[in-house]
Amino acid sequence: MTSIDWAKVRADFPILAQQVNGKPLLYLDNAASSQKPRAVISALVNYYERDNANVHRGLHELSSRATDAYEGARVKVAKYLGAASAEEIVFTRGTTEAINLVAQTWGARFVREGDVILLTEMEHHSNLVPWQMLAERTGARLRFVPVAEDGTLALERLGDLLTAEVKMFAFTHISNSLGTINPVAELCRAARAVGAVTLVDAAQSIGHLPVDVREMGCDFLAFSGHKMCAPTGSGALYGRAELLDAMPPWHGGGEMIVTVSYERSTYKKAPARFEAGTPNIAGAVGLGAAVDYIEGIGRATIFEHDLALTRHALARLGELPGVRVQGPRDRRGGLVGFTMDAAHPHDLTTFADQHGLALRGGHHCNMPLMKKLRLPGTTRASFYFYNTKVEVDRMADILAEAVRFFA
Ligand code: PMP
């Protein structure tokens, strides 16, 4: 494994070198959104200073440069995901839009009354609400793979739940509140055996560990750029080409048509069919730059680094009285959700902020899961490759002070 100069990597992130409330910023809210390296910020500045124009339509130099940059980013994302071709990548605003796209278009074509959509009890609202809306429209039913005591999926129930009525099995790769890493390839294999289509929510894994759609064997995968060093409003849906081409269009407008008359239109194939109107060109360019940046470090190296910080955080949190960590002990991603007997998550998060420490407190868009766990919410610390062991120790010291403060 190549050795990485992590201090040099950290210096790529200008935002981290600041004081918040009179203390050095300690940013541990990476599961909500990551920070951006200079390479990504410069890609945006360069694009706007040199190449900006609308894509695809223009027969002039800047338009062809913008088109090359936009389509070049699609090729980078396809390679990053191990997709068979760039045509399998639809740019979206992020995970939420990608899942809604599938629920609305694939759902409209393939889901009927009585069909079952299988989810898990640990889904983020963005991999739950779109399916509820589809179920309401079609009369389909929702089923859920339970979350067991230890924060993993109760896989022994899969045989009963994954029946021939299941048309879609949609699940998260990494839980954003428990940190659980789900056995994606195994779940996809089980779904395929009953003819169900799969969608993987990769929001929490895409920038943290190797993600390869063909190794996973999934049909769809959704992710957000902003959690992997790219700009907000960028992200993509991966879909197997034959599925994307069988789906009706979503938004109507320019770019997605072949012919238009006053009465009716014909549509392009994917991905253009799902990208009506002027897209987020700069966002895609920034996403391409983020892919290059992350690949420069290596996703396996990033995962190892995140995991070391998580293990250290688990050890330090274990020393604090009245602090309980949620989720599994092993096979977990770079985030730790916990409760503190003495303080509500919102109060604890506000306390942390006074010390320059950015955590997240609340239900983390997992309201049904929090209800099941009988928790008002949790406080979450989430790590990325620019965080350090010294920062984890500083977090633990601030939390120890909180235990005394709220007692
Ligand atoms: N799924 C998971 C597991 C997430 O953690 C998030 C973001 N918190 C989302 C989906 C939604 O991502 P976005 O808001 O970027 O669309």
What phi, psi does 30 have (nearest 5°)? -70, -25
Average of pLDDT values for 223-249? 98
Would you state the pLDDT for residue 66?
97
Would you state the pLDDT for residue 119?
98
**pLDDT tens-digit readout, 106-127:** 999 999 999 999 999 999 999 9
234 CB under 6 A from ligand 1? no
pLDDT at 1 over 70: no
**pLDDT tens-digit readout, 256-314:** 999 999 999 999 999 999 999 999 999 999 999 999 999 999 999 999 999 999 999 99
126 CB under 6 A from ligand 1? yes
pLDDT at 229 over 60: yes
Class of domain 41-296 as given by CATH? alpha beta
Of the candidates 184, 173, 163, 190, which has an alpha carbon nearest to the alpha carbon of residue 123? 173
| Residue 358 burial by Cβ neighbours in a 10 Å radius (0-12, 13-18, 19+) | middle
Q: Decide if 6-30+298-406 and 41-296 have a common fold.
A: no
CA 32 – CA 176 distance, rounded (Å)? 9
pLDDT at 216 over 90: yes
> How is residue 21 written in tokens?
């409330």
| Residue 266 burial by Cβ neighbours in a 10 Å radius (0-12, 13-18, 19+) | exposed
| CA-proximal residue: ligand 1, atom 14 (nearest) | 96
Q: What is the pTM of this model?
A: 0.98
Percent share of the chain, pLDDT over 90: 97
**pLDDT tens-digit readout, 387-397:** 999 999 999 99
231, 286 contact by CB (below 8 A): yes
User: What is the atom index within ligand 1 of the atom nearest the CA of 176?
Assistant: 5
CA 272 – CA 283 distance, rounded (Å)? 17
The position carrying tokens 């040199």 is 50
Q: In what order do the strands lie in the sheet with 360-362?
A: 323-325, 335-340, 378-382, 360-362
pLDDT at 218 over 70: yes
Would you state the pLDDT for residue 59?
87
Would you state the pLDDT for residue 56?
86
Average of pLDDT values for 184-201? 98
**pLDDT tens-digit readout, 320-340:** 999 999 999 888 999 999 999
Sign, CA dihedral 164-168-171-173, equals: positive
291 CB under 6 A from ligand 1? no
| Coil/strand/helix, residue 85 | coil
Domains in the chain: boundaries:
6-30+298-406, 41-296
180 CB under 6 A from ligand 1? no
Would you state the pLDDT for residue 2?
61
- Active site amino acids: 365
Would you state the pLDDT for residue 188?
98
182 CB under 6 A from ligand 1? no
pLDDT at 386 over 80: yes
Of 365, 369, 384, the residue with max ligand 1 atoms within 8 A of its CB, to mutate for a pocket test, comes to 365
| CA-proximal residue: ligand 1, atom 6 (nearest) | 203
Adjacent-strand bridge partners of 168: 117, 197
**pLDDT tens-digit readout, 16-71:** 999 999 999 999 999 999 999 999 999 999 999 999 999 987 789 999 999 999 99
- Ordered DSSP codes for 275-316: --SS--HHHHHHHHHHHHHHHHH-HHHHHHHHHHHHHHHHHH
Would you state the pLDDT for residue 330?
87
96 CB under 6 A from ligand 1? yes
Would you state the pLDDT for residue 393?
98
**pLDDT tens-digit readout, 140-179:** 999 999 999 999 999 999 999 999 999 999 999 999 999 9
Strands 19-20 and 23-24: antiparallel
Q: Kindly state the helix (H) or strand (E) to which residue 45 belongs, with its residue range.
A: helix 38-46
Q: Which CATH number fits domain 6-30+298-406: 3.90.1150.220, 3.40.50.1360, 3.90.1150.10, 3.40.50.12240?
A: 3.90.1150.10
Distance 199 CA to ligand 1 centre (A): 14
